[in-house]
Structure 1
Amino acid sequence: MSQTIHFPFPTSSSSSSSLLTPFTSNPSWTLLPIGTKCLAQSKAFVHFQYQPTIWDARFVESLKTDYLPKTDMELLMKEKEKQVKGMLKKVSKPLEKLELIDVIQSLGISYLFEEEICKILENMYHDDDQKMNDNLYATSLRFRLLRQYGFHETQDIFDEFRHAKGGFKESITGNVKGILSLFEAAHLLSDGESILSEAIVFTRTHLLDNLSKSNSNINVNMANPIRRSLETPSHWRVQRSETRLFIEAYESHKTMNPLLLKLAKLSFNTAQAQHEMELRRISRWWKSIGITKNLNFARDRLVECFVSNIGCCWEPRYERCRIWLTKLLSFALVIDDIYDVYGSLEELELFTDAIDRWDCNAMEKLPHYMKICFLALYNTVNEMAFVILREQQFDILPYLTKSLSNSVNAMLTEAKWCHKGYIPTFEEYQRNGSVSSVGFVFLMAAFFATNQNINDGVLHAFESNHPLLYSSCLVCRLSNDLATSSAEIRRGEVASSIYCYMQEKNVSENDAREHVKGLIMEMWKEMNGFMFESSPFDRSFVDIVLNFSRTSLFMYQYGDGLGAEHSKSIEHVLSLIVNPIPIDEPTHKNSS
């Protein structure tokens, strides 16, 4: 039976007292006579295997598109880009500038106009005459966009809408568009920003109240966006998925601009065509290394891995990053299943030693299936390191292998907990779980793959598990636990954040889940601060880290998205990889 639960919003007294995004916990495995798993308390064994993929190599090879990058299409996009740049220069009113930037961003084409958008927002940030303090909608939109682009707009900008003694004015509750805008803006809060925490609770309460009233100020067109925001704030959603939804909705919007719509469709479809080509390359590589044939107990989720990495970095310039992360995530699932499902404790210790040593001679004592996995991983990671050494004259291999070693040692620790029946403290689980999630490996690989500036500060940040990285990895681990812990407990995997907190605090599973969801909110506050505060990382990489967190939330929001295909994960693949957006004449035109 599935469980539907929700994320909390922070309140002034507690970060875990209200409800938000649904998570569904469903088993993604079937009972079959293959593999063993220790049930720590009973010392019994359970046999199970993951479902086979529905997206096999034949499916991937069948993908065809009419939007392959061609000279005529590139010229058409360049022409449209030039026209949009002209639009950005012509707009003079502050609110119109903000709304145009917001639409461009929602349509997924802001990457084409980064310089122009940043210049406009920088001018607005330094110009007090453009603050529009009496307009809740405009003030909230301005606040959100400035923070998204790295400008530290303070929460005090909302004082105009609060009483002198504190608390938001009830008079703004009838402005549904304004309080929805404030609700979304407030989710870019950082640690200690109590006004924004209060704003989330205040706006959520009144948005729910308006939805429940038949005579409210909400029209039909606003009701659905409000419900979606209450389910998951836009700041937490996977942006690439949101782009597709927005393009389809924007086509029939009364303020639709045909130029923006056409450019957005061309951009989406040409990027999708590039993604299809990349996926075919990765699929052929995956088949050639023989992992699925030799380790058929493990998850084969190559397509889902690739789609999740589109969520992290979809832009055309990040081709290498998508390919690297897909390879590493595919390996991570297999290795996770070796440690969680199939390997004996003795085998796991040998495999961990081989990763620690990063030496082919360490393979001698491994069973055949582990030899296949280790050598394939060894060759793949070494090839990545060679590419960066050749291009940037820097050897990243010691950093990647150390991060991999940390991850498998954390997995081994969890396997030992299981075999010994040991239940760690919640804090102990968090520290280990953030590393066993393999998130640090992904983020490090993403950093090197996107040609970021390599310096001592960055290298130290990776070695010390910088708070930005740690928070994102913990969101990944806790999101996984929320979706899979019930099934894992039934399988004997007692070491999950939910179970550890239940045992340590002697509380119900529901109370433990609420605490974990509150912790996820705290991690978002931590990460948000690095959008506009000093850090060793460039903003482009901070965006990738945030996208990694968003993807983690999405993959586990409706179940174990990397365990078994479900309707939402299938829909995700179809919308981002398989089906282009039709480019027909829009149903409504506005030439202005």
Structure 2
Amino acid sequence: MASTVAATPDEIQSGYEPSPWGDFFTGYQPQHLQERSEEWMTVRADELKEEVRKLFKTCDNTAARIFLLDTIQHLGIDHHFEQDIENALSLVLRSDFSNLSLHEVALGFLLLRQQGYWVSPDVFNKFKGEDGSFNKDITNDTKGLLSLYNGAHLLIHGEVILEEAKAFAQHHLELMKGSLSFPLAEQVKRALHVPLPRTCKRIETLHYISEYNEEEGHNTVLLELAKLDFNLLQHVHLKELKAITEWWNSFSGNVGLSFIRGRIVESYTWAYVVYHEKGFKLPRSIISKMIVIITTLDDIYDTHATIEECRKLNGAIQRWDESAVSVLPEYLKNLYMELLRTFRNIEADVPIDMNYEISYLRKSIQNHVTGYLQEAEWAHKNYTPSFKDQVDLTSLTIGAPTLSVSVMAGMADEIMKQALEWVSTVPSVVISAGKIVRFMNDIGAFKRRKCKGDAASSVECYMHEYGVSGDVAISKIDALIEDEWKTLNQARFENHALLPALQRIIGLAYTASFFYDNRNDVYTSSTLLQEIIESFFVKPV
């Protein structure tokens, strides 16, 4: 599909492979629109949506509602039915779970908790014996165990019942996974690798569409809508990819730094993991551009600039004025002017009646670069900080605060001002999301060659401070990742008014499972991402 781009000498020296995409998306035409017009697809999708709304109205029991909600979410069409889903969840919340099966209880638990509705883990007590352990008779209920395993990953700190449920379900799913048939075998395999509440939703949608297609008695209306919706959204994303690639060509051409990673398609994919729905062009654009800027600055601070140049660049960015360009070395002047221009253009793109304040975004980048300077100072002095100091700093320089502010461009107007003010204080959920991404990034990078000038990673700092091996350090950090997920889960129940903002920040944590899966860094080693990107944007369903 995409053509391979030759690496420049600077990229080779820096150890970065080129992105395989080049200008692929500037001229690509989607195949499915040659077969059916976009207008026909839109009209047909609207007809199907009305049929789905009738399904909500005809659901007359709790189990039916739970299964409908689960199917709609798995198929990726839930964004069309937010109010219907809210109404159905309210009915499920008020329902009596006592007569439901393990599969139904666990699925209802998962659906409610992930939408910020508190459900006590005591709903699982009826599946336990007098000794407090889970009954053996549920070990043959594969779907029930799978839902229990997934639902238990929405646990908060101190929920021993759910820790036990997770371990029990995992143990028995591992025992039976080799004897299962399609599609359950694939669903169990995926969940054991990355549990459902932490997975990239669009990857799950692609898997589930093909699996649901093979399921006996599947609802043809839901399936047809899911396929049409994916292909219609693909067309939206392709237009944006064309525009963002053209922006990158202008940005990189003006900056003139051949040693930086060219990752615009991968940056857009990062934004897509958080926001795939049609109405979020602006936050996708802002997130993509901020990731490019963060990556560019990271490559300058990590691999190219001297410590004095790092200090000068930080000083100029804190001033945020064109006159500050005079203090910079010649090769960084164009970058600085392009940075200011990018922010001016983003501000111009924000609708005049939207409460999105660009000043929050500018301040987050200024803070981000101050963090990069601290890392550079540590590297310059060959100083290995304590594990805590390293994590406190690098969970911010991974980009979570800046991206969280970027994400707020997708909030509804009635909460945007409050959401921006809240996220600019860098609350615990932003820090937790940052730690998850940072830890998984560092684990993924641990066995790769470190770039010259890199400060010590969290893995190396832990090894240094506690005198342990890399495997021991990674095991400890894996446990810390679990703690941060509990913090994110807890936050769902603490401020319901800001739940839309929180859910997108949790989406930033999903990107860790996506980009740093299998101990890899597929953002940097982007050819490993090529097949997935093709399935998102190039290959129609």
- TM beyond 0.5: yes
The reply to whether residue 201 of structure 1 matches residue 156 of structure 2 is no
Q: Which residue of 2 aligns with 1:545?
A: 505
Tell me if the contact between 1:321 and 1:445 (Cα under 8 Å) persists in the aligned partners: yes
Q: Which residue of 2 aligns with 1:441?
A: 402
Change (3 A) 1:551 1:132: same
Map 1:53-72 to 2 at 5 A: 53-67=19-33, 70-72=38-40
Tell me if the contact between 1:313 and 1:322 (Cα under 8 Å) persists in the aligned partners: yes
Change (3 A) 1:453 1:353: farther
Tell me which amino acid in the other structure corresponds to 1:124.
Answer: V
Tell me if the contact between 2:405 and 2:420 (Cα under 8 Å) persists in the aligned partners: no
Q: Which residue of 2 aligns with 1:141?
A: 107
Unaligned runs of 5+ in 1: 1-29, 36-45, 582-592
Q: Which residue of 1 aligns with 2:491?
A: 530
Map 1:102-117 to 2 at 5 A: 102-117=70-85
What is the alpha-carbon distance in structure 2 between the residues aligned to residue 139 and residue 58 of structure 1?
Answer: 47
What is the alpha-carbon distance in structure 1 between the residues aligned to residue 135 and residue 456 of structure 2?
Answer: 46
Q: Which residue of 1 aligns with 2:516?
A: 556
Q: Which residue of 2 aligns with 1:224?
A: 186
Q: Percentage identity across aligned positions?
A: 30
Residue 268 of structure 2: SS of its match in structure 1?
helix
Q: Of 138, 142, 162, which aligns to 1:176?
A: 142
1:356-375: per-residue Cα shift (whole Å, max 9, x none)? 11111111121233222222
Q: Of 440, 460, 468, which aligns to 1:507?
A: 468
The reply to whether residue 76 of structure 1 matches residue 41 of structure 2 is no
Q: Which residue of 2 aligns with 1:411?
A: 372
What is the alpha-carbon distance in structure 1 between the residues aligned to residue 105 and residue 37 of structure 2?
Answer: 40
The reply to whether residue 259 of structure 1 matches residue 225 of structure 2 is no
Tell me if the contact between 2:314 and 2:369 (Cα under 8 Å) persists in the aligned partners: yes
Measured after TM superposition, the shift of residue 210 of structure 1 is 2.3
Map 1:142-161 to 2 at 5 A: 142-161=108-127
Tell me if the contact between 1:191 and 1:525 (Cα under 8 Å) persists in the aligned partners: yes
Q: TM-score, normalised on structure 2?
A: 0.93
The reply to whether residue 289 of structure 1 matches residue 251 of structure 2 is yes
Residue 461 of structure 1: SS of its match in structure 2?
helix
Tell me if the contact between 1:471 and 1:524 (Cα under 8 Å) persists in the aligned partners: yes
Q: Of 235, 241, 248, which aligns to 2:210?
A: 248
1:148-185: per-residue Cα shift (whole Å, max 9, x none)? 22211111111111234433223322222211110011
Change (3 A) 1:58 1:386: closer
What is the alpha-carbon distance in structure 2 between the residues aligned to residue 454 and residue 118 of structure 1?
Answer: 18
Q: Of 86, 92, 113, which aligns to 1:124?
A: 92
Tell me which amino acid in the other structure corresponds to 2:265.
Answer: V
Q: Which residue of 2 aligns with 1:573?
A: 533
Name whichever of 377-386 and 150-159 sits farther off: 377-386
Tell me if the contact between 1:309 and 1:322 (Cα under 8 Å) persists in the aligned partners: yes
Name whichever of 155-164 and 273-282 sits farther off: 155-164
What is the alpha-carbon distance in structure 2 between the residues aligned to residue 175 and residue 289 of structure 1?
Answer: 55
The reply to whether residue 335 of structure 1 matches residue 297 of structure 2 is yes
Map 1:42-57 to 2 at 5 A: 47-57=13-23
The reply to whether residue 190 of structure 1 matches residue 156 of structure 2 is yes
Residue 163 of structure 1: SS of its match in structure 2?
coil
Q: TM-score, normalised on structure 1?
A: 0.85
Change (3 A) 1:345 1:291: farther
Tell me if the contact between 2:364 and 2:401 (Cα under 8 Å) persists in the aligned partners: yes
What is the alpha-carbon distance in structure 1 between the residues aligned to residue 317 and residue 220 of structure 2?
Answer: 54
Q: Of 322, 328, 331, which aligns to 1:360?
A: 322
The reply to whether residue 349 of structure 1 matches residue 311 of structure 2 is yes
Measured after TM superposition, the shift of residue 490 of structure 1 is 7.0
- How many residue pairs align between the two structures? 533
What is the alpha-carbon distance in structure 2 between the residues aligned to residue 85 and residue 459 of structure 1?
Answer: 34
Measured after TM superposition, the shift of residue 197 of structure 1 is 1.2
Tell me which amino acid in the other structure corresponds to 2:423.
Answer: F
Measured after TM superposition, the shift of residue 292 of structure 1 is 7.8
Change (3 A) 1:191 1:76: same
1:54-109: per-residue Cα shift (whole Å, max 9, x none)? 10114542343444984332221111100111112112132122111111111110
What is the alpha-carbon distance in structure 2 between the residues aligned to residue 463 and residue 326 of structure 1?
Answer: 19
1:23-62: per-residue Cα shift (whole Å, max 9, x none)? xxxxxxx999749xxxxxxxxxx95341222101145423
Measured after TM superposition, the shift of residue 330 of structure 1 is 1.2
Measured after TM superposition, the shift of residue 221 of structure 1 is 3.8
What is the alpha-carbon distance in structure 2 between the residues aligned to residue 548 and residue 150 of structure 1?
Answer: 17
What is the alpha-carbon distance in structure 2 between the residues aligned to residue 173 and residue 228 of structure 1?
Answer: 19
Change (3 A) 1:179 1:563: same
Q: Which residue of 1 aligns with 2:3?
A: none
Q: Of 388, 391, 396, which aligns to 1:430?
A: 391
Residue 271 of structure 2: SS of its match in structure 1?
helix
What is the alpha-carbon distance in structure 1 between the residues aligned to residue 396 and residue 190 of structure 2?
Answer: 32
What is the alpha-carbon distance in structure 1 between the residues aligned to residue 409 and residue 177 of structure 2?
Answer: 46
Q: Which residue of 2 aligns with 1:6?
A: none
Tell me if the contact between 2:408 and 2:420 (Cα under 8 Å) persists in the aligned partners: no
Q: Which residue of 2 aligns with 1:42?
A: none
Tell me which amino acid in the other structure corresponds to 1:119.
Answer: N
Unaligned runs of 5+ in 2: 1-5
More helix by share: 2
Tell me if the contact between 2:385 and 2:461 (Cα under 8 Å) persists in the aligned partners: yes
Tell me if the contact between 2:128 and 2:135 (Cα under 8 Å) persists in the aligned partners: yes
Measured after TM superposition, the shift of residue 489 of structure 1 is 4.2
Higher relative contact order (CA 8 A, sep 6+): 1
Change (3 A) 1:420 1:47: farther
Residue 254 of structure 1: SS of its match in structure 2?
coil
Tell me if the contact between 1:180 and 1:203 (Cα under 8 Å) persists in the aligned partners: yes
Tell me which amino acid in the other structure corresponds to 2:63.
Answer: L
1:553-581: per-residue Cα shift (whole Å, max 9, x none)? 210114211212233x1111100011111
Measured after TM superposition, the shift of residue 353 of structure 1 is 0.8
Q: Of 252, 258, 270, which aligns to 1:308?
A: 270
The reply to whether residue 370 of structure 1 matches residue 338 of structure 2 is no
Tell me if the contact between 1:310 and 1:322 (Cα under 8 Å) persists in the aligned partners: yes
Tell me which amino acid in the other structure corresponds to 2:491.
Answer: F
Tell me if the contact between 1:106 and 1:243 (Cα under 8 Å) persists in the aligned partners: yes
Tell me if the contact between 1:318 and 1:450 (Cα under 8 Å) persists in the aligned partners: no
Measured after TM superposition, the shift of residue 459 of structure 1 is 4.5
Residue 251 of structure 1: SS of its match in structure 2?
helix
Name whichever of 410-419 and 370-379 sits farther off: 370-379
1:450-474: per-residue Cα shift (whole Å, max 9, x none)? 4454577545433431111111111
What is the alpha-carbon distance in structure 2 between the residues aligned to residue 350 and residue 548 of structure 1?
Answer: 31
What is the alpha-carbon distance in structure 1 between the residues aligned to residue 319 and residue 234 of structure 2?
Answer: 40
Change (3 A) 1:85 1:208: same
Measured after TM superposition, the shift of residue 234 of structure 1 is 1.0
